[in-house]
A = this chain, B = another copy of it.
């Protein structure tokens, strides 16, 4: 649900405290089912002011890629886009929680969530299997 009023978008941006690199950590969580407390945490990435402005204006989640130093319209190469249903800033304005409708999978490994490494029987283990072959996600 895009925020069509530029003044409202400016109010949101004014409440954000970007870090010393002009970036904001963003947690993407699957939007909860009706009445639910919350869905799966899918990934964490970063936005700069431009990415947040475009995210607010379009309803589609846009990050800033620190490695590419460019806007990263999530799903632009994989098709696995995110549309947000709510954007919630934390108490001190330096972290954003995006509730999203995730098309397909969030992780470049083909898993629904990026958070899949954990100790099991004292060994680091992949606790979920890919839903999709990454070769399919990023094929031409």
Contact = CB atoms under 8 A, between A and B. Distances in A.
Interface of A: 3, 5, 7-8, 11-12, 15, 25, 27, 29-30, 37-41, 43-44, 86-93, 95, 97, 107-109, 111, 114-119, 122-124, 127
Contacts of A118: 86-89
One complex includes copies of this chain to the number of 2
Contacts of A92: 114
Contacts of A43: 90
A9 B78 CA distance: 35
Q: Which 9 A-B pairs have the closest CB atoms?
A: A8-B122, A88-B115, A90-B114, A89-B117, A97-B115, A44-B95, A91-B114, A38-B40, A88-B118
